[in-house]
Amino acid sequence: MGHQRKALRSGMGRSTADSITVCGLDLTNDVLGKLNLGEFAFLEIKGRVPTPDESVVFNAMLATLVEHGMTPMAIAARLTYLGAPESLQSAVAAGLCGMGTTFAGTAEGAARILQEGLASGGGESGLPQLAKKIVADHIAAKRTIPGIGHPLHKPIDPRTPRLFQLAEEHGVSGRYVELMLLISAEAERALAKPGMLPVNATGALGALACELSIPWKLCRGLAVIGRAIGLVGHIAEELRDPIAREIWERTDEESSSSPFQVAANR
């Protein structure tokens, strides 16, 4: 018998000559002017419109990683735009390619350890014990614990308490937030680094994504949504006050100096 092919169906969107339907809602009548961008993103991801409380928290989550200054991602976007000004989308894509375990992408890892930890039943013996096990396992494997620590923001990442405050005020705070905070505290204790490993912004985002029942595999996408906006902003500034050429020319000039010539001049 031949293999029965799966029907190709999607509920994301469809169009007729005079209408566009998105996740079951009419785009022109139910979305435009009624849902903000964050609520529309929530609808796409979760398949339903968020409650007003969820909307506040989710929009704050998306806004958290929009901008963080002249990061490698922003520099990559600006330099790509310098070389290909006819392709703004390529510049934004180049910047997004730099989102990973070092910059902006660790919400995925944080959410994964939280979801897998609680799904395994590890929380039955108590969240403090689960936090100890997670930290001990990472230390034993010599793996970085995602979602804690920041090269600049310590002893507190200022974004984290605000996100957790909003979550508490709007009923989107629970065991995942508690576990994330316990992991931070346990890591500081186990590694003898008091005040050095706070829950960072991506750790907070991972915890709140868990509270909203968003799978960990989608969490890097939340950072992509926010940072894409920021990269368009960097290109907008590049148009107003360009610096990419200066970055390129100075890098070329300074990196091209012969090490033998430098040594001879000393």
Domain count, the chain: 2
| % residues pLDDT > 90 (the chain) | 86
Which of the two residues, 184 and 262, has the higher pLDDT score?
184
Last residue of a domain, one of 50, 68, 95: 50
Q: Locate all alpha helices (DSSP H) within 97-218, ordered by sequence.
A: 107-119, 127-140, 159-169, 175-190, 201-211
Work out the mean pLDDT of the chain and round it to a whole number: 93
Q: What is the CATH number of the domain that holds 156?
A: 1.10.230.10
| Residue 261 counted as domain residue | no
Please tell me whether residue 234 adopts helix, strand or coil conformation: helix
Last residue of a domain, one of 217, 233, 251: 217
Taking residues 127-155, report their average pLDDT: 94
Taking residues 244-261, report their average pLDDT: 85
Question: Who contacts 4 (Cβ-Cβ below 8 Å, separation ≥6)?
Answer: none
Domain extent at residue 43 = 15-50
Taking residues 116-137, report their average pLDDT: 92
| pLDDT surpasses 70 at 220 | yes
Same-domain status, 207 and 121: yes
Rounded CA separation 184/200 (Å): 9
Taking residues 148-169, report their average pLDDT: 94
Taking residues 201-212, report their average pLDDT: 97
| Residue 91 counted as domain residue | no
| Residue 112 counted as domain residue | yes
Tokens 């001049």 sit at which residue? 265
Which of the two residues, 237 and 262, has the higher pLDDT score?
237
| Residue 197 counted as domain residue | yes
Last residue of a domain, one of 198, 217, 236: 217
| pLDDT surpasses 60 at 34 | yes
Instruction: Report the alpha-carbon angle 179-62-117, nearest 5.
Output: 20
Residue 222, amino acid:
L
| Residue 33 counted as domain residue | yes
Rounded CA separation 125/210 (Å): 20
Same-domain status, 118 and 196: yes
CA distance readout (Å), 2 to 6, 8, 57:
12, 18, 49
- A 10 A CB-CB count for 201 gives 24
Taking residues 149-176, report their average pLDDT: 95
The helix (H) or strand (E) run that includes residue 20 is: strand 20-22
CA distance readout (Å), 61 to 23, 47, 71, 203, 249:
22, 18, 19, 11, 37
| Residue 183 counted as domain residue | yes
- A 10 A CB-CB count for 149 gives 22
- A 10 A CB-CB count for 23 gives 18
Quick: pLDDT tens for 38-91.
999 999 999 999 999 999 999 999 999 999 999 999 999 999 999 999 999 999
Same-domain status, 44 and 122: no
Please tell me whether residue 199 adopts helix, strand or coil conformation: strand
Give pLDDT, residue 141.
97
Rounded CA separation 78/69 (Å): 12
Region of residue 17 (phi > 0: left; psi between -120 and 50: alpha; otherwise: beta): alpha
Rounded CA separation 141/26 (Å): 50
| pLDDT surpasses 80 at 123 | no
Same-domain status, 31 and 115: no
Burial 164-187 (b: 16+ CB within 10 A, else e): bebbeebebbeebbebbbbbbbbb
| Residue 20 counted as domain residue | yes
